[in-house]
Amino acid sequence: MLPVIAYNILQSIELIANVSKLLADKAIAGFTVREDNLQKTLAKNPILVTALNPIIGYAKAAEIAKAAYKQGRPIIDVAAEMTDIDRAELEKLLEPGHLTQGGIGH
């Protein structure tokens, strides 16, 4: 019984390995990133507003996120209108690269 189970596991591993290679070669290898589309989408992502929580509070940040989502606008544009933070500071605070590295870009 155990040799049959081991054989089936090895067959499954081989099948998954082959399918993964085919997926990579036939589908993923042809992917291209549209940088312009990526930046537009990222600018509208409501998660960015969490960087403002320590400065303006959760309630105000949530209000900005909801307004930006409802209006289909970038977070930074709505935050500039709804807060007293100047645009240059908002650009630092909402810089996705800094946020992915564990901190606010002051």
Q: How do residues 50-94 score in pLDDT, each as one tens digit?
A: 999 999 999 999 999 999 999 999 999 999 999 999 999 999 999
pTM for the predicted model, two decimal places: 0.67
CB crowding 42-59: b at 16 or more within 10 Å, else e: ebbeeebbebbeeebeee
| Dist. CA 48–CA 74, nearest whole Å | 10
Q: Which CATH architecture has domain 35-100?
A: Orthogonal Bundle (1.10)
| Dist. CA 104–CA 20, nearest whole Å | 38
Q: List the domain boundaries for the chain.
A: 1-31, 35-100
| Dist. CA 60–CA 82, nearest whole Å | 9
pLDDT of 105 over the 60 cut: no
The per-residue pLDDT for 103 is 61
pLDDT single digits (tens) 23-44: 999 888 888 888 889 889 999 9
The per-residue pLDDT for 56 is 96
The per-residue pLDDT for 106 is 46
